[in-house]
Chain A
Amino acid sequence: MTHALQNLFWILIFPGFVFTVVLGLVATWIVRKVSALVQWRVGPPFFQPFYDVVKLMGKEVLIPEAAQRVVFQVAPVVGMAGALLLSTMLWRITIDPSRLFVGDIIVAVYLMVLPSLALILGSSASASPHASLGTSREMKLVMGYELSLVLALIVVLIKSSGQLSLAAIAGQTPVLSISGLLAFLVALFSVQAKLGFVPFDIAEAETELGSGVLMEYSGALLAVWKIVHAMLLVGLPLFLVTVFLGGFTGSVWAGIGKYVLVLVLLILIKNTNPRVRIDQAMKFFWSYCGLVMAIAIILAVLGNYYGLNWL
């Protein structure tokens, strides 16, 4: 009984829901504030993301007449479940590396796709032409970045000589080698696309699609999507830190520094690039990132074979 209660506490309060949501909303504030500073503005106050979520919770929920009601309402919750499991798993491994199971990196990859799939389902159930355009773009984008992200993880697995557990992978820093650095950059671009940040915000496209995939969501359902986005803003950079930068091993402050570094890199890419078209994004991920990853995998295999760790 106490064991079950403790598991529930982990999932709902400490490394899980409450902790991740609060941290994610703070990260959302950092994104908006740094973007404002880059654009020479003052930016929103610290509690702005909290106000936004509270306000959306109190608004009327409108559901389009032609929408598939059940899928439209369940999709945000499914997305939140995926983001919640991902961040809980990553925090548990960060806090206590002995609680691992073999192959958890593969589970993490699956959990990272879940919010995107839920977004595709929810927006295609809303029966809006703008949302359907956004859905088709989101689908193509998912196919684009998943390939390069998986290729980047293969480099990490070669470096860790085939160990599939995140705790073992967090014990090394692949980014200090040439192939690991290439893989980190490609994975950073993939995470940028997963978060829907500017060069790859093709699916939301404020200017020509309204807000694309989120067009028909309002009130509490939109608030859930905002929370999912905030949780991913914690989970995905944390995944990069764990896999490529050596995680929180060493000291906690170094780990927090690495997380902030990844977050600031994402924000700077967001603020210095214009939006690309969907065909340009596909070409970027499949042709250029694919080519770079092929070279990186060859380098990693050679480095493993000859015992050269810097390759």
Chain B
Amino acid sequence: MSWKTWSLKKSPWVFHVNVGACNNCDIEIVNLLAPKFDVERFGIKLVGSPRHADALLVTGVGTRQAAIRLREVYRQTSKPCVVFLIGACPCGTGIFSKGYHVVGPVDNIIKEVDPNAIIAYVPGCPPKPEAIISGVVKALSIL
């Protein structure tokens, strides 16, 4: 394992992108940073700019308007970076699959920009905070 991957696992900074979520998964993500789960123990920090991020936490189905912005945010993220799809919507568009505004699932939108993007899926509606932590740990351990 190179030192770049090793240090990336030790301090993954995350940027939160909402591409049309109902705010439920977003609340669970905020819950991770609060005292009960406190992911700063593992060096995970929420940052305000995609330039600083190592991981994108994407929530929502991927609407037509938001897809353009998501591609732009992915291009602005400095590589190497990991994309986490949090919830049933980004993983497979969930109950909104026949919606007129949906262009997702989100992994297709990301792969239009970068076919080799590293994408991890955390299903659930919303996923429990424990499930999100478990997904992040599994994804980082196979990097």
Contact = CB atoms under 8 A, between A and B. Distances in A.
Contact of B35 (A40, A54, A130): A40
A55 B11 contact: yes
Nearest to B36: A41
Interface in A184-241: 206-207, 209-211, 214-219, 222
A214 B7 contact: no
B35 A48 contact: no
Interface stretch (B42-50, B61-69, B96-104): B42-50
A36 to B, nearest CB: 6
B136 to A, nearest CB: 16
A62 interface: yes
Interface residues on B, range: 20 to 34
A45 B43 contact: yes
B11 A51 contact: yes
Given A36-B40, A41-B40, A55-B11, A218 B51 contact: yes
B51 A62 contact: yes
Contact of B47 (A47, A48, A211): A211
Contact of A222 (B3, B35, B52, B79): B52
A54 B8 CA distance: 9
A133 to B, nearest CB: 13
Contacts of A59: 4, 54, 78-80
B54 A55 contact: yes
A40 B40 CA distance: 12
Contacts of B35: 39-41
A147 interface: no
Given A59-B54, A217-B51, A218-B78, A42 B11 contact: no
Interface residues of A, number: 33
A122 to B, nearest CB: 13
B38 interface: yes
A58 B7 contact: yes
A43 interface: yes
Nearest to A33: B40
Interface of B: 3-4, 7-8, 10-11, 13, 35, 38, 40-41, 43, 47-49, 51-52, 54, 76, 78-80
A-B residue pairs, 3 tightest by C-beta? A58-B4, A55-B7, A51-B10
A96 interface: no
Contact of B10 (A32, A55, A214): A55
A48 B43 contact: yes
Contact of B48 (A42, A48, A206): A206
B78 A219 contact: yes
Contact of B3 (A58, A61, A130, A218): A58
A217 B78 CA distance: 10
9 contacts: A36-B38, A45-B41, A48-B43, A55-B7, A130-B49, A207-B48, A211-B49, A216-B51, A217-B52
A43 B45 CA distance: 11
A134 to B, nearest CB: 11
A274 interface: no
A129 to B, nearest CB: 13
Given A36-B38, A219-B78, A52 B43 contact: yes
A206 B47 CA distance: 8
A58 B47 CA distance: 18
Contacts of B52: 211, 214, 217-218, 222
Contacts of A61: 78
